A and B are shown apart, each in its own frame.
Chain A
């Protein structure tokens, strides 16, 4: 089975701050990590490969620094990594990103499955997975929490819902986005790290993927950010103290005027 995993390098949520003046992310000195949901996508791909055989190709669109993350993907079991990188891609919104990724993926061999994380923790849009599926004209399932069966032609998957899950059968090739419940990502192995050190990273630029320059980066992005602001905190918060009984009494007192 040929599996493609799309991963993104994101700032580590542990040390993210907003610049108080511009209200954008202050990225200075912030560690970059692989988007946590993408780790689960990669792990699932590697498990599928271990079970059914095949090959896992990891694709990331990003700046040259994303190479570090791609090597990490190899140490966790990816066979091949592709960095889609060009100054022309800068400022892309999800529309331009899905265009760019779809053009890059068309340059690769045919695939049976594409896995993405359900969303990236920086933008939080959850749009790239479904957008990419649309561009590539393959069936799409979001929030996959389990891949049950696979006969090479179709897959049975569980889609996480608020009140349970849906069981779906999807013909391949297809694209799924996964939730963290799907698996526990592995820790890189020693052999994996040694392989990662030596692996050659394929880099695709705008002309390699034969992209239309009008559809790339800021130019190709219909999204316009008008203003960024932190919403004001509404609602009051009170902490109750004392024994359970005392706290219940206090709570009752606070609520009784409303009853």
Chain B
């Protein structure tokens, strides 16, 4: 039996085939092939994106159900390497190949959560509640600890008691807007994951 690239990924269920192919052996794939459903990516919408894990930044193609028309909800059903991408040329490592499982992970956060002092766990709350509460806590801390000048009268205009750690899998646009917001507040305890 010959297996073309798309069928190969399909047989893998998710596309981890890249590393597990040798472990499974093609023999077992053939056995699975007899039972699988008809090809389901034929009517999906393809969207170009980038693997969010490492800095090789492999191109990926995300398949979603529906054609984007009104009243249809796009659901991500498959992620595979972008064959046109000059760096990865369609390949993905075991991390990128399993991206669908990250997108659909059971441990994704789906609503704002709050944990009050001394409590053992989180409780779901509304966006309005968290944003109002966080803004209040930030303002109170800023007003109490913002330093306009040093003891010898030099301008400081900084707020040293609230820290901010930026992520490194966020977009450049997020990075810039974040920069603008935190610096306008006077935050100087600012860092990101580059060091670690």
Asked if chains A and B come from one complex, the reply is no
Q: Using CB atoms and an 8 Å cutoff, list the residues of chain B in contact with chain A.
A: none
Q: Using CB atoms and an 8 Å cutoff, list the residues of chain A in contact with chain B.
A: none
